[in-house]
Structure 1
Amino acid sequence: MRLPDLEAWAIFAAVVEHRSFSGAADAIGLSKATVSKAITRLEAHIGQSLFHRTSRRLALTEAGKPLAQHAARILAEAEAAEEAARDAASAPTGRVRLAAPMSFGVRNVAPLLATFLAAHPGVEIDLHCSDARVDIVAEGFDVALRIGDLPDSSLRARRLCDIATHLVAAPAYLAAHGTPTHAAALSAHRFLGYSNILGLWRFQHADGSDVAIRPQGPLTANSGEALLPALIAGLGIARLPGFIVGPHISSGAVVEILPDWAPDPVGLHILTPPSALRPARVEALIAFLSAHLRDPCAEARAA
């Protein structure tokens, strides 16, 4: 039996993470030639090209995309195994790549990291704030925070808390189109869609009745912040998390509508790659974020 070329798989994972041969070589302390030879060796072994190479760009082939996920798991499990073999009393060390939604990451996650880093001086955090749904395995993230419904996947997911959302409109919109007094009336209105919570919206009244609508309107964005100018200008109704729209409710720029109708809660989830083996630095960050974002997202509600 021929053993797998584990070194080449690990180098492949590094190239995917750093998106270049030279970046991977610098990160893992090898020459660019050694990295290139390892990729060539691996491609020859599996009989498929892993990358499209040009002078300006390096991109995974269709065959390389699913294999990148396997390579990332191989590298992560090897790192976890080596760390587990070290003295259990040693402090966590190394880099953790963390992805978070843009607004929530800036307002609620970034302020927490100073406390975490002070308690774990050997750990480095690489924080990426973006409202794009990153592929955490292919892009080499150790942990991701995600708001909204989760599609079925092989990722490990834990729901940390519910985030309150608010159905809001500008006074100008309500003056022009009327203020709905029943959730069923929403189907006649224009909406500004936050893509993290699109789809069928369900509302439940205190008397137990419920209504479902499918919002439609002139603008959809993967960033709630991007909807605010159109919302304040009176172009439609929006449903947004409190950490985005809370200050604008307080200022009177927008007002809440249908307060007696509660929308389904939106979840904040913590995601990790499918392997159960994780380095101590990753476990430490997961435990820290889980503890500080469970209350239930009090900072988000108060914003």
Structure 2
Amino acid sequence: MAKLPDFEALAIFAKVVELRSFAATAADLGLSTATVSKAVSRLEERLGARLFNRTSRRIALTDAGRTLALRASQLLVDGELAESEALAQSATPRGLVRLAVPMTFGTKTLAPLLPEFLATYPELSIDLSLSDATVDLIGEGFDAAIRIATLPDSSLLARRLCDMPRHVVASPAYFEKHGRPTHPMHLADHACLGYTYLSTPGVWHFSNAAGETASVRPAGPLRANNGEAVLPALLAGLGIADLPEFICGEALASGELEAVLTDWSQSASGVYLVTPPGGPRPARVEVLLDYLAKRLGRKV
């Protein structure tokens, strides 16, 4: 198998040619003089030719050294240029950001924020994936995700934006016909509309300020993997649902839905920006996360 060129030794050699001194090269590169000398010796051994004639006072290129110097100097210039361009690329927000967001939150809350962001950063583009399922950020190649949940411990990095209240709601017509539950255990006697992607979809857990807890297994005519999909059934008076505020908030404000069990709460959930672990994030990701943190922290 062919060996790669000794780029480090070539770069050090080019710097010695430029500065005409092993000591000056060592100082310029932050190396010891011995390290510079060994790199040049390594290159000479590899090429089978002496590159410098050295005396105690000066160095001079040999014929082989002069032949190599132009190429090595160009390699050094190209390497410095490539590194500068890479650093500029990482510092300037440009490129594609893949972002995973829950369906309804994405369409109602996040999507209206994106035109301003894209106008501010015209060299950026966003691949927005909308799904209430929890995606594998690393395995599926996402740069970030928004999650609305009580997050379990994981290796992912999470930035909490705000709380996300949940409400147990139904239409006034439903309550008029079936009565209002005043304790979570009363929900066992009601038609409950379920949401598949709750952390425990088969059990609703409640607690109150007095430290009491209660758990109920909801049952009813409809269960969906998107919270907004149960709204028509709720408004039609078919049952009770447990929904986050971003889904049911407008209907609560208009009086189309009413909340019960307001002195009870479920597991505290929040809106999080989640990113894979690792080193510094690219500028294209960092500016989007900062923008969403500022806007969603105020808006939600």
Q: Secondary structure at the match of 1:175?
A: helix
Which of these two proteins has the greater Rg computed from alpha carbons? Answer: 2
Amino acid at match of 2:102: P
- 2: distance between equivalents of 1:206 and 1:287? 35
Aligned ranges for residues 282-297 of structure 1 at < 5 Å?
A: 282-295=285-298
User: Could you tell me whether the CA contact under 8 Å between 2:90 and 2:282 is conserved in 1?
Assistant: no
Amino acid at match of 1:225: E
Amino acid at match of 1:284: V
Aligned to 1:240: 243
Aligned to 2:78: none
Percent identical:
51
Q: Secondary structure at the match of 1:250?
A: helix
Aligned to 1:73: none
User: Could you tell me whether the CA contact under 8 Å between 2:133 and 2:197 is conserved in 1?
Assistant: no
User: Could you tell me whether the CA contact under 8 Å between 1:203 and 1:212 is conserved in 2?
Assistant: yes
1:141 aligns with 2:142: yes
Name the TM-score, length of structure 2 as normaliser: 0.64
User: Could you tell me whether the CA contact under 8 Å between 1:148 and 1:196 is conserved in 2?
Assistant: no
**CA deviation after TM superposition for structure 1 residue 206, in Å:** 4.1
Q: Deviations over 1:137-183 (max 9, x none)?
A: 23221111111234554433333221111110122322332211223
* Dislocated runs of 4+, deviation >6 Å: none
1:204 aligns with 2:207: yes
Q: Deviations over 1:254-274 (max 9, x none)?
A: 211122223332221222223
Runs of 5+ in structure 2 lacking a partner? 4-82
**Equivalent of 1:267 in 266, 270, 277:** 270
User: Structure 1 residues 153, 294: closer, same or farther in 2, change over 3 A?
Assistant: same
User: Could you tell me whether the CA contact under 8 Å between 2:193 and 2:240 is conserved in 1?
Assistant: yes
Aligned ranges for residues 154-165 of structure 1 at < 5 Å?
A: 154-165=155-166
Q: Secondary structure at the match of 1:146?
A: strand
Moved more, 89-98 or 103-112: 89-98
When the two structures are aligned, how many residues end up with a matched partner? 220
Aligned to 1:187: 188
- 2: distance between equivalents of 1:100 and 1:84? 32
Amino acid at match of 2:242: R
Q: Deviations over 1:208-253 (max 9, x none)?
A: 4333333333322121111112212222210111221122223332
Aligned to 1:253: 256
Aligned to 2:225: 222
Q: Deviations over 1:84-118 (max 9, x none)?
A: 94138952111111111111111211122222223
Name the TM-score, length of structure 1 as normaliser: 0.63
User: Structure 1 residues 190, 277: closer, same or farther in 2, change over 3 A?
Assistant: same
Aligned to 1:126: 127
Q: Secondary structure at the match of 1:202?
A: strand
User: Could you tell me whether the CA contact under 8 Å between 1:100 and 1:145 is conserved in 2?
Assistant: yes
User: Structure 1 residues 84, 101: closer, same or farther in 2, change over 3 A?
Assistant: farther
Q: Considering only aligned residues, what root-mean-square deviation do their CA atoms show, in Å?
A: 2.9
Q: Secondary structure at the match of 1:247?
A: helix
User: Could you tell me whether the CA contact under 8 Å between 2:91 and 2:282 is conserved in 1?
Assistant: no
- 1: distance between equivalents of 2:154 and 2:257? 37
Amino acid at match of 1:120: Y
Aligned to 1:110: 111
